Amino acid sequence: MYIKFCRWGSEDKKDENSSSKLTVELGEEKAKETKGNERLFRYGCVFLTVLCFIFLLVIVFLSMKLGSGSPPCTVQQCPHFNPKQHEQLCAKGWIYFNKSCFFLSTLRLPWAESQKNCSSGGGSLAVITTQSLQSFLTSKGNLKYWIGLRHVDNSWNWVDHSQLEQSFWGKAPRDGDCAFLSSEDPAETNWDRASCKASTYFICQQQI
């Protein structure tokens, strides 16, 4: 009985040693696994950082490339790029056309007083030197309007002191030294003349 009891004791010690050894091995494996996970996490962070940096460089490159495609410009310099902003350039009640604002009055005055009314706001009676402007103003009104054209010293001159070149006179102009635009008639031939003392509506122009 005693000998048998001693064998059991030695077997228990062996089991304890084996168990301790197994615990140490499991702990070492767990530590290795933890270190491996930490390495993977670090590698993942480094990879994401590099990826974000590359993405940022691509965005900067594309922005510079797109920005260099067309030079920056204001609404005044590039009106065809900013069609919706034209109205913001002109005061309320005024209409925009080709770097100028125009106002078709609802008040009738003689030619000189009409010019004075326009100049008080920083403008003048309209100076029409192109077919496009002539057609535009004709389409916007339905009355007779003084324009900035007057007969002085046997020649027709604009209020900006330039001489008349392109004209849109009707077939049988009346007598008078001041010109008006009749928007009821075709744009090609709707200018007429009248006494400067007569009262009618007028078109003001302000250059931007």
Final residue belonging to a domain, choices 69, 104, 124: 69
Domain that holds residue 131: 85-207
Do 156 and 125 share a structural domain? Answer: yes
Do 105 and 185 share a structural domain? Answer: yes
pLDDT of residue 129: 96
- What CATH number does residue 120 fall under? 3.10.100.10
Predicted structure pTM score: 0.61
Do 181 and 106 share a structural domain? Answer: yes
Final residue belonging to a domain, choices 26, 45, 69: 69
Which residue positions in the chain have pLDDT lower than 50? Answer: 1, 3, 5-6, 8, 70, 72-77, 79-81
Cα separation of 135 and 143, whole Å? 14
Do 90 and 55 share a structural domain? Answer: no
Final residue belonging to a domain, choices 69, 98, 115: 69
109, exposed or middle or buried, with CB in 10 Å at 0-12, 13-18, 19+? Answer: middle
pLDDT of residue 46: 84
Distances (CA, A) of 66 to 20, 58, 75, 118: 69, 12, 19, 44
pLDDT of residue 43: 81
Do 125 and 40 share a structural domain? Answer: no
Residues 19, 25, 28, 30, CA torsion sign: negative
Cα separation of 192 and 138, whole Å? 13
Do 166 and 203 share a structural domain? Answer: yes
Do 180 and 92 share a structural domain? Answer: yes
Do 92 and 65 share a structural domain? Answer: no
pLDDT of residue 31: 59
- The domain total for the chain is 2
Residue 77 located in a structural domain = no
Q: Which of 184, 127, 117 is nearest to 156 (CA)?
A: 127
**Across the strands, what pairs with 182?**
144
Residue 80 located in a structural domain = no
Residue 75 located in a structural domain = no
Q: At residue 112, what is the residue type? A: A
pLDDT of residue 167: 95
Q: Which of 110, 187, 119 is nearest to 150 (CA)?
A: 110
Q: Which two tokens stand for residue 160?
A: 């900006």
Residue 79 located in a structural domain = no
pLDDT of residue 53: 86
Give the model confidence (pLDDT) of 2-59 as tens digits.
545 445 455 555 555 566 655 656 566 665 666 667 777 788 788 888 888 898 888 8
Residue 78 located in a structural domain = no
